[in-house]
Structure 1
Amino acid sequence: MTSFALTVDTDVTDLLEADHLLRTVASGLDLPEGALGCTHLVRDDRPRVVLSFALPSQEAREAARERLTADGHEVTDGVPDEVGRAVLYPGAASLTGTVTVADLLARTAIVRVTVLGAQEPPAADTALVTREHVRPHWQDGELVLAAMPALGGTLVPFEHPDPTPCCADH
């Protein structure tokens, strides 16, 4: 991530709700190109999902801090951990429908795709069905998308856009 980052504390405990909050908060920030918005799971005495924004300059960070605190958010410098889940990142909006792994890597800030159960990365021409929900994670300073095999030799992002809650059928 970047040294010009800040974290917004929340009371949100659900990832999809956190995604929505992150997008809502970001829409009021006038984020510069290259900005990133991530969610982070916090497992302390108050488990929750917090938001982080990585900005390209100190000026952008200070402008975001002013706006966020004026809106009543609790803001701290930095990120809570180095393994955030990216929701807003360069190229994210272009990931709709089906794209090849090569296109995904060329058009976004994602630098690598891994496939569950596979030793090797997928071929560049492998199709990825985005389901309009592509959430890479930070790994060793890089955005990495975990994918899994799907029908017809395609891939889908590991994270499902509309997960069924555990024990939903009981």
Structure 2
Amino acid sequence: MDADVRDLRTADHLLHRLVAELALPEGTFGCTHLVRGDRPRVVVSLTLPSEPLLRTAQERLTTGGYEVSPGPPDTVGRAVLYPGAPALTGTLTIAELLSRSAIDRVTVLGAPGRPSPETRLITGDHVRPQWQNEELVLTTMPAAGGTLVPFEVADPTPCCADH
């Protein structure tokens, strides 16, 4: 769905609003996708657990004035809504993160292999995995005390903020 959104934060809020307005079920996936070119923007996609739900959502969105197209714009969407996402708060082990959510795998920037299941992840209540080769993958980075944090932070410092 193209709502002419220009930034990820606005797209995240749009997805949360649509799920509430359309009363979408727990198994819904909502992703953001960056579109480059002459009109850069962020489009959103929804994957629903059944075809009738999908048709109803498409009708309601089209009636609401949104431009809706079938299928995602690419295969590497950034997941905002996914099963288990609301349970990923505070500090969790990698094993807990994987068992509580639809995330398939965790990677660490600059590190070969996967982190130990006992490694603690400080979520910052903002966990945005991405689709990679049909797996939902959370990219993390090392933090203090041998912990990990998601690579994407909720409130990033703008480039050149100290200049």
TM-score clears 0.5? yes
Correspondence for 1:93: 86
Shift of residue 118, structure 1, vs aligned partner: 0.7
- Which segments of structure 1 move beyond 3 Å, counting only runs of 4 or more? none
Distance 2:26 2:127 in 1: 19
Question: Which residue is equivalent to 2:13?
Answer: 20
Q: Tell me the secondary structure at the aligned position of residue 22 of structure 2.
A: coil
Does structure 2 conserve the Cα–Cα contact (< 8 Å) formed by 1:68 and 1:75?
A: yes
CA distance in 2 between counterparts of 1:74 and 1:95 reads 32
User: SS of the counterpart of 1:49?
Assistant: strand
Q: Which has the higher strand share?
A: 1
> Matched residue of 1:17: which SS?
helix
Report the AA paired with residue 15 of structure 2. L
Q: With the length of structure 2 as denominator, give the TM-score of the two structures.
A: 0.97
Contact 1:32 1:60 in 2 (8 A): no
Unaligned runs of 5+ in 2: none
Q: How high is the sequence identity, in percent, across the aligned residues?
A: 64
User: What value does the CA root-mean-square deviation take over the aligned residues?
Assistant: 0.9
Partner of 2:108: 115
**How many residue pairs align between the two structures?**
163
Which runs of no fewer than 5 residues in structure 1 stay unpaired? 1-7
After superposition, what is the alpha-carbon deviation per residue over 1:116-152, rounded to whole angstroms, capped at 9, x for unaligned? 1110200001100000000000000110000000000
Q: Tell me what 2:134 maps to.
A: 141
Between the aligned partners of 1:26 and 1:165, the Cα distance in structure 2 is: 29
The one-letter amino acid of 2:151's match is F
Alignment of 1:2-17 (within 5 A): 8-17=1-10
Q: How far, CA to CA, are the matches of 1:13 and 1:168 in structure 2? A: 20
Q: Match for residue 151 of structure 1?
A: 144
Q: Secondary structure at the match of 2:46?
A: strand
Equivalent-residue separation in structure 1 for 2:158 and 2:3 (angstroms) = 21
Note if 1:167 corresponds to 2:133: no
Counterpart CA distance in 1 for 2:145 and 2:26 is 36
Higher relative CO (CA 8 A, sep ≥ 6), structure 1 or 2? 1
